[in-house]
Amino acid sequence: MEADITKETEQRLKSKLADKLYGELDDLTRMDSDAQTQVDRLEAERAAVRKQIEILKKMIKEAGLLRTGSSGSDEQTSPQSAAVTATAVDDGKTHKQMILEIILEAGEAGIRPVDVGNEIKRRYGKDITSGLHTQIARLSKEGKIRRMGEGWKTTQKNAG
């Protein structure tokens, strides 16, 4: 008789354990299904956003527009300077000519190379960052500009 009671108790404990574990399994299965539904909704939303991005990029490219100022930039930009503007024509100027023009316009105050690069990007829509220092070195070697502190200014023969 004692063996029957022990067997009966063991069966009840197994049954309770099974109910508990299957209940948890059902809960987790529902949670997984809910999560998958959310993922599917977010993927559809993301696809729609990506489609809108591509449409806008195409419109910007076709219109020949250029952003002046970047969202990842360290410098503060006003709403006006962060606006999108039409790309200027460079009139066939070389990078050296563009650089010299901007340094000339800076006058006696001089201008830092980073500011020269930013101004070329703003005016002409060109990023010449990779060759900027080489061109400045050439202009300096030719005697057209000279170093002044952190920046550059034109020499006397280019001032007038």
DSSP string, 46-69: HHHHHHHHHHHHHHHHHHTEEESS
* pLDDT reported for residue 107: 86
Residue 143, by phi and psi: left (phi above 0), alpha (psi -120 to 50) or beta? left
Low-confidence ranges of the chain (pLDDT < 70): 67-91, 156-160
* pLDDT reported for residue 108: 85
* pLDDT reported for residue 15: 95
pTM, full prediction: 0.44
* pLDDT reported for residue 64: 77
Q: How far out from the chain centre does Cα 148 lie?
A: 33
* pLDDT reported for residue 91: 66
* pLDDT reported for residue 28: 95
Q: Of 150, 66, 89, 70, which Cα lies nearest the Cα of 116?
A: 150
